[in-house]
Structure formats: structure tokens, C-alpha cells
Amino acid sequence: MIEKLSRVFCQISSEDKYEAIDEVIGKCTIFSELPDKERFVRAVHRRERQQSTGIGHGVAIAHGKLPEVMKPAIALGFSEKGIIFDDRYPDPVKLVFVIASSKHGDSDYLRAVASILTWVHDPDFRRILVEEEWQNERAKMFFSMLESQDFRPQY
């Protein structure tokens, strides 16, 4: 199952947060569909320098906005070792979401982020992802949502 998700999911080995973000963008083919991938990388790095996107509990949601992006494109990188995103959250980030969105499509972006937060706020679900229990029914539902880019809250 996981091998088929290369469009929106990858395993990352980088230990630096910027390199990890770049690895997700480089490995997940959904970002190949962007009109200017290099400009997107710069936008994500710029946003990360403004304020860390680590949200705690081993999760980060890095994002960058480009005006020509019609709808959000979202991928997930998994780090087995974990990456320190900032000093506020001492737990290493293992789940690195990267989102490309439009400067004009805030409602789609907010809906997608709200959905991701609903899923990863649940400690049992985070454990399923972090412990690589990807054949679990909830994990399959989540990966299906990620693959379809149809973000909805967890039920």
C-alpha cells in the first residue's frame, strides 16, 4: 500500500528541518505538478524562517503559498529518527506535512489544515502512524484521504 502512495507520501532521512522539507517536496510527485517547484521551495523556507511550523507531538505542517496554485497540494514525509524543528517542542518531528496553497485560496487551505489537525491531534492515531502500523484501518482511511486530496475530519 505505502509504495503506491509515492505521489503524497515518502520516508525521509534528513535530520535538518529544511533538508527534510526539501526531501518531501522532491520525493512526493504531487509537487511536480506545481508550475514553479523551486519558487515553492523558497516560499516554504521563507515561511519556516518566519516561524517554525512544528506544532508539537512530533508533527510539523510546513507550507508555502504561490498565487498560481489552484487548490492545496499536500504530502506527508515520515522520519523514523525524528527532526528537531525548534526549541519550543523538544519531541522530534516524525510527521512532516508539506502544503502548497494559493495566496487566494484560504478556505481550502484552512479546511485541509483543520482536517490534518483533527487526525493528528488524536494520540492513538499519531501512535499508529509513528509506529508504522500503516495497515491499520484508520491509517488506510487517512492515506486514502491524502491520496485523493479530499480532506475531511476524522470520524
Residue 21 belongs to a domain: yes
Do residues 129 and 139 make contact, with C-beta atoms less than 8 angstroms apart? Answer: yes
pLDDT in tens, 91-114: 899 999 999 998 776 788 888 999
Q: Is residue 97 part of a domain?
A: yes
- CATH number of the domain encompassing residue 18: 3.40.930.10
- What percentage of the chain has pLDDT greater than the value 90? 71
Average pLDDT over residues 6-35: 95
Predicted confidence (pLDDT) per residue in 26-54, tens digit: 999 999 989 899 999 999 999 999 988 88
Specify whether the CB–CB gap between 128 and 135 falls below 8 A: no
Total domain count, the chain: 1
What is the predicted pLDDT for the residue at 65?
92
Domain with 99, as residue range(s), is: 2-148
Residue 155 lies in a domain: no
**Which helix H or strand E contains 151, and what residues bound it?**
none
C-alpha cell at position 36: 514553479
From the CB of residue 154, how many other CB atoms can be counted at a distance below 10 Å?
16
